[in-house]
Amino acid sequence: MANARPARTTSPRFRRHLQDQLLQTLVGNPAWAAICSDRQLHPEVRAGRLTVYYMGQALLREVRLDKNGSLVASVHHKFVPLQRSTPDFYLGLRWDDSTGLAFDSGLSPQPPGTLEPDVLKAYKRMMKYEAGPEDILQQHIASDPRNCVLDQQTEFPARTHNKIDLAYFDPSIGKVCFAEIKRFDDARLFAPAGEPEVIRQLRAYGIWLREQSDTISTEYRRVVAAKRALGLGGRIKEAPDGELSVLTKPVLVIGNCTDADVRQIRQARSRPADGDTWSLLWRHLETVAAGLIISGGVGCDLAIRGGGPQKFWFG
């Protein structure tokens, strides 16, 4: 008997969509209105649900409708502040022989409610404690009103590398682009010496982008429509409603750079030197990236063309 042919497997499809019922439920919801009006919060479309990001962390995860049609979501316990009856920064403690030190006033978790300004401030404070330097850098870039951000922390099915930091529409080239963000002092820009880790990362992203460019185009067209329906259209004004073209190489953004750092990186391209760490990066970068943006620590314009000496377009 001949051996049976193994079953053909296909990787999960990259999806970005929301049900009309979820859109209708969120429009007019006071908590959602508070999210839309806060430019520091970034709602991103997933497969049938939303995640609201701040400082690279999820303020709200899995925003969706349950089987009964109720609006539900989740939040990590480490981001939940405590309600307290005192306006003081420090909370009083008192000794009790039966329980030890206890708070003077009763404390309980602070629910998000309708995300009033004081509640959002408390949640943001907790989330900022958990944010790393790269999260803060990404927050500044994503919140820059010059940028048309479509997605954050994009993860493709069946991938083995980290999530791509930002997806955005770049009006200077008219395409959906993907940015990998690294700090100036990130060791992955320089090591291993043979080929820095960031080069391997960018190469892997490029493979996925080329293989799935048609799917990416379709799904981010849905994202544009969903964001406009949700009251976020002012953030993505440059994105067209029709077909979206995809840049199939990622863009590298190196942040937290001083003016001296910018000069050093530029010089390494024009006058490469053996043993120079930036020369090593340049040796590989143009084969795996569509461009390089060098920025400070307070955000930058992601438009890759016509941006002056801190931007390099490889095409």
What are the residue boundaries of the structural domains of the chain, listed by start?
12-81+114-131, 132-315
Percent of the chain with pLDDT strictly greater than 70: 93
DSSP output for 270-296? HS--TT-HHHHHHHHHHHH-SEEEE--
Q: Is the dihedral of CA 293, 298, 301, 307 positive or negative?
A: negative
pLDDT at 255: 94
Say what the pTM is: 0.89
Mean pLDDT, residues 248-252 taken together: 97
More confident residue, 1 or 18: 18
pLDDT at 149: 97
Q: Are 180 and 201 in contact (CB under 8 A)?
A: yes
Instruction: Name the band, by pLDDT with cuts 50, 70 and 90, for residue 142.
Output: very high
Angle at 235 (CA atoms; ends 177, 136), nearest 5 degrees: 70
Q: Write out pLDDT tens, residues 254-290.
A: 999 998 999 999 998 888 777 678 998 999 999 999 9
Q: Are 176 and 245 in contact (CB under 8 A)?
A: yes
pLDDT at 194: 83
Greatest CA separation found in the chain?
80
Instruction: Name the band, by pLDDT with cuts 50, 70 and 90, for residue 1.
Output: very low
Q: How far apart are the first and last CA of the chain?
A: 54
Q: Write out pLDDT tens, residues 43-98.
A: 999 999 999 999 999 999 999 999 999 999 999 999 999 876 555 667 778 888 88
Residue 174 phi/psi, 5° resolution? Answer: 70, 35
Please state, in angstroms and rounded to a whole number, the distance separating the CA atoms of residues 67 and 195.
Answer: 49
